[in-house]
Amino acid sequence: MRTVYLKGILICADDYGLHPDVDCAIVDLAKAGRLSAASVLVDAHGLRERASWLDGLDLDVGLHLNLTERVGDLSDGDVEPSLGKLIVACYARKIAPAWVSHAVARQFDAFERLFGRLPDYVDGHQHVHQLPVVRTALIAELQKRCDAVQRRPWIRSTRSTRGLLATGVRQWFKSLVIESLGARAMERLALSGGFACNRGFAGVYDFTRPAMPYGDLMQRWLDTCEMGSLIMAHPSRGLLSGDPVGQARLTEFQVLASERFMLWLAERSLALVRPDQVLDPVSVNDSSRP
C-alpha cells in the first residue's frame, strides 16, 4: 500500500472581537477542526466578555495589530484616518516612531491582560504590521518581551504562494500589491531576530466583487499551498450591520464549515495543523525562499 504524506497548512481567521457573530463563527470552526489560528482585535467592544471563548481550543491565538480602524474607545489614539494615509506616512517616514512604538506596546499590554500571556503570533489588520517603521517597532517590542520565554511568537508573512494567477488577474494583482508593501522586508527582519514566518500566503480577493465563487477560490488557493502556507479568512455566522464585506464573511463561514472543504483537503493530501508543527525559524539565506 502506498503511503500518503500529508502536507501541513494553516487556516487563520482574522478579526476576533469585531462582533459576536464573528467570534461565534471562529469558535465553531475551531471546535470543528477547521482553523489553525485566530487573530484578535484587542480593543474591540465586548471582547473582555468573549475572550474566554477561546480558552482550551486547539488553535494559536494571535495579536491582530490595528492602526487603521476604530473598533473600540481605547484604539482611537492608535488609529490613523485611513490605510492609504498610513502607508504614505510610513514610506515617507513622516510618521512618528514614538507614536507607533506606543501603539504596538499598548496593544501587546492589552493582549496580555486579556489572555495572561504573550500572543502566539502577530499579524496586522489590513497588513499594517509589515509597513516601514511599524515592522521595526514590532520586532523591537517582541525582542523586549521574549527574553524570558522559550517559545517565540511567529509573524505572518504576506509573501504570496506561487500560482495565484489562477485565481484571476484582479485577485493576483491585489495579492502582489499587499506583498509589495513590505512582505520581504518583514520576513527578513523577523527571521534575523529568530521569529518564524509562514511559507506562503493566500486568501486575498475582492470581498465585494469576487472574480469567482469563494468555494472555487478556496480550491485554487489550496492548489498553491506548500508546507507551512497560510490562508487567511474572515468568517461570520451572520451579516453584520453596516459591514460592506458582510456577505463575504458569511459565505466564508459556510464554505469552511462544509464537508466539501474537508474533502478538498483530503483530495490534495493537505492537513490543517497548529503552526508550531510546520513553522521553524530559518536563516534569511534559506534557498527554499525565492
Q: What is the pLDDT of residue 163?
A: 76
Portion of the chain with pLDDT greater than 70, in percent? 90
Q: What is the pLDDT of residue 77?
A: 61
pLDDT-derived band at 208 (thresholds 50, 70, 90) equals confident
**pLDDT tens readout for residues 88-114:** 999 999 999 999 999 999 999 999 999
pLDDT-derived band at 5 (thresholds 50, 70, 90) equals low
**pLDDT tens readout for residues 49-76:** 999 999 999 999 999 999 998 887 555 5
Portion of the chain with pLDDT greater than 90, in percent? 76
Is 200 a member of any domain? yes
Query: How many Å separate Cα 132 from the centre of its chain?
Result: 18
pLDDT(152) > 80: yes
**pLDDT tens readout for residues 236-286:** 999 988 888 889 999 999 999 999 999 999 999 999 999 999 987 543 344
The domain of 122 spans: 7-277
Question: CA-CA distance, 11 to 202, in Å (whole number)?
Answer: 10
pLDDT(168) > 80: no
Question: Exposed/middle/buried for 87, CB within 10 Å: 0-12, 13-18, 19+?
Answer: buried
Is 47 a member of any domain? yes
Q: Is the full-model pTM beyond 0.75?
A: yes
The total number of structural domains in the chain stands at: 1
Is 289 a member of any domain? no
Is 125 a member of any domain? yes
Kindly report the CATH number assigned to the domain that includes residue 84: 3.20.20.370
Q: Which residue has the higher pLDDT, 173 or 39?
A: 39
Question: CA-CA distance, 22 to 187, in Å (whole number)?
Answer: 29
Run of H or E including 211:
none
Q: Cell 499587499, residue? A: 178
Is 282 a member of any domain? no
Question: CA-CA distance, 3 to 147, in Å (whole number)?
Answer: 42
Q: What is the pLDDT of residue 244?
A: 85
Run of H or E including 204:
none
Question: CA-CA distance, 206 to 248, in Å (whole number)?
Answer: 9
**Contacts with 163 (C-beta within 8 Å, 6 or more apart), sequence order:** 220, 223, 224
pLDDT (average), residues 6-33:
97
Is 87 a member of any domain? yes
Within 10 angstroms of residue 212's Cβ, the number of other Cβ atoms is 13
Is 68 a member of any domain? yes
Greatest C-alpha distance within the chain = 62
Coil, strand or helix at 244: coil
Torsion sign across C-alpha atoms 192, 89, 86, 45? positive
Q: What is the pLDDT of residue 287?
A: 38
Is 220 a member of any domain? yes
Q: Which residue has the higher pLDDT, 70 or 32?
A: 32
Q: What is the pLDDT of residue 288?
A: 42
